[in-house]
Structure formats: structure tokens, C-alpha cells
Amino acid sequence: MTEKPTPKATITLDTTGDPEFPIYQLSINAMLDETHGHGYRLMGPKYIGRSRNLRTEKLTQRDADEIRAVLDEAFPLGLRTLTPLEHDRAWHAIEGTAGAEDADPGTVLAAVLRALRINAPTAEDETAAILRKRTA
């Protein structure tokens, strides 16, 4: 299974509103504890004078993965250039694996990913991605 890092903060979606006027805000926040954190306003005016928190929803790892997948469709990340050390590791991983008797593309790819310290998707991840593509 793909190893996920331990979260440093609790991520929440918060909805706030003014009790007298139909004005609302939606924000995503990284909370370090109950009262400390930072966030980004996604919707609504910059300032609501008498706003109250209407609802807070904590995001799970699955929520984060699905949000990233949706964002990647509209805003794909650009290409990243390997550092010289990463390039060297990948080169040596290919060189050391490609000549082996059982060197199929999967073996070479696994060696390169391991050299770059990148986890390959699990079978469950790949199955979920296939199912998402079918339903899209």
C-alpha cells in the first residue's frame, strides 16, 4: 500500500454567515489545534462583520485525494525537472536493472521509482482510477 505521510494539521471546510443578511463565506483551513491555524477564502466577501460559523467539515485522506484528482483535471501541474542527484539515481537504477535476465519494463520502472524515492500506486489505487475513468 502507498505510504501516506502523517498529517501535520486537520483540514476543514468552514461555512460562515451573517445572522441578519444572506451573506456567506466558504473557506478551507489547516487547523493546528482547536483555535490556531490558517486558511483560504474560496467564496464570499472578504469581510463579514458579524459572521458566525455555520458548519465545519473535517476532510479525510480520501477527500484530499479526490479533490486533488478533480483539480488536476482543470489545473494540471507542470513538468518538474529532476535534480542532478535524482537524474543520477534514475540513470544508475536503469543501468543496473536493464541488463538483468528478468528485466521487463515493470522491473526497470520499479527500480527507477525506488531510486527516486517515489511510491508506485497500489493495486487498489489503480483499480479506483480505472473505475473513476469508467464512470466519468
Q: Where are the domains of the chain?
A: 10-74, 84-135
pLDDT(38) > 60: yes
* Three cell numbers written together for 46: 472578504
Q: Which helix (H) or strand (E) holds 38?
A: strand 37-43
Q: Taking residues 51-62, what's their average pLDDT?
A: 92
Of 107, 130, 135, 119, nearest in space to 1 by CA: 119
- For a pLDDT cut of 70, what percent of the chain falls above it? 94
Q: Check: CB of residue 64 under 8 Å from CB of residue 71.
A: no
Q: What is the DSSP string of 90-121?
A: HHHHHHHHHTSTT--HHHHHHHHHHHTT-PPP
The whole-chain average pLDDT of the chain stands at: 85
**pLDDT level of residue 3 (50, 70, 90 thresholds):** low
**Predicted pLDDT at 1:** 46
- 15-24 per-position pLDDT tens digit: 999 888 888 9
Distance CA 122, CA 108 (A): 17
Distance CA 15, CA 41 (A): 10
pLDDT(25) > 60: yes
**Predicted pLDDT at 79:** 74
pTM above 0.95, yes or no: no
105, 110, 112, 115: CA torsion to nearest 10: -160
pLDDT(26) > 90: yes
